[in-house]
Amino acid sequence: MLKAYIVDDEPLARDELAYLLQRTKRVDIVGESDSLETAIKEIDELEPQVVFLDIQLAEQSGMELARRLADTDSPPDIVFATAYDEYALKAFEVNAVDYILKPFEEQRIKQTVDKLMKLRAATGRSPSYPLPGTDKAGGKLPVTVEERILLLDIDRILYIQSEEGKSVIVTEGGRYKVNESLAALERKLARTPIVRVHRSYLANLNAVLEIQPWFNAASILIMKDGSKVSVSRTCMKDLKQLLGL
């Protein structure tokens, strides 16, 4: 299922779009809002994979939200859903995946969902987490550290943390700060036991000793070196599926 968030200041338009998306049976609406302030906060917490975004939001512009999301470590895909066709060129300047017009048509929504699914499959960003322990387990992760190229054993990686647009890879043997974003490393580590557990963390499921509950339905992973890794509420659902809980 593709996790989606809707931003539109018209309740009827939000309801219509949510209904048509759910009719595809491939989209889970994790949240919706009518303002940029609420959207920014909830998108950070809920971590949707795609945001359906109106451009005209009362006195605000959805384009501003799109730009802010594009600067995050793991930006969601953006689909503009609006009554105005004159903003199409600007939409693609912020790398929008699609641009759909009101009133929404069911077939057009299906085409957009098809496009999103194919794009994520082509870039290795499947809508659900890859199964752990598959083809890249036991392999190497090449990273550049201070002009040296290191080949890190994937099995020895405990977790990876986002830090100011860069990433810190924590292994059983040390810590390595690299210039790559968390999203880039996540793509490299697709189909390994290292999966997204939070907007700021990837964790090696084979290195988890314990899962402890935390506030607001979030959780904490206790790794085998004793370190703690945050798990967001939405990622916890996927993590339970992976672990068969």
> Cβ(15)–Cβ(9) under 8 Å?
no
Quickly count: other Cβ atoms within 10 Å of residue 19's Cβ: 13
Q: Are residues 178 and 216 in the same domain?
A: yes
**Per-position b or e across 44-68, b if 16+ CB within 10 A of its CB:** eebbbbbbbbbbbbeebbbbebbee
Q: Are residues 25 and 114 in the same domain?
A: yes
Entry pTM? 0.54
| pLDDT 10s digits, 62-88 | 888 888 888 777 789 999 998 877 766
Question: Is 134 a domain residue?
Answer: no
| pLDDT 10s digits, 145-182 | 887 888 899 999 999 999 887 899 999 989 999 988 88
Q: Are residues 116 and 152 in the same domain?
A: no
| CATH number of the domain that residue 69 is part of | 3.40.50.2300
Q: Are residues 13 and 98 in the same domain?
A: yes
| pLDDT 10s digits, 4-22 | 999 999 999 999 999 999 9
Is 121 buried (19+), middle (13-18) or exposed (0-12) by CB count in 10 A?
A: exposed
Q: Are residues 49 and 150 in the same domain?
A: no
Q: By residue range, what is the domain housing residue 167?
A: 140-243
Question: Is 131 a domain residue?
Answer: no
Q: Are residues 98 and 147 in the same domain?
A: no
pLDDT value for 137? 47
Question: Is 65 a domain residue?
Answer: yes
> Cβ(181)–Cβ(201) under 8 Å?
no
Q: Cα dihedral sign for 199, 202, 206, 208?
A: negative
Q: Is 151 helix (H, G, I), strand (E, B) or coil?
A: strand
pLDDT value for 166? 86
User: What percent of the chain lies above the pLDDT cut of 90?
Assistant: 38
Q: How many domains does the chain have?
A: 2
Question: Is 32 a domain residue?
Answer: yes
| CATH number of the domain that residue 184 is part of | 2.40.50.1020
For the chain, give the mean pLDDT.
84
Question: Is 130 a domain residue?
Answer: no
Phi, psi of 168 (to 5 degrees): -110, 120
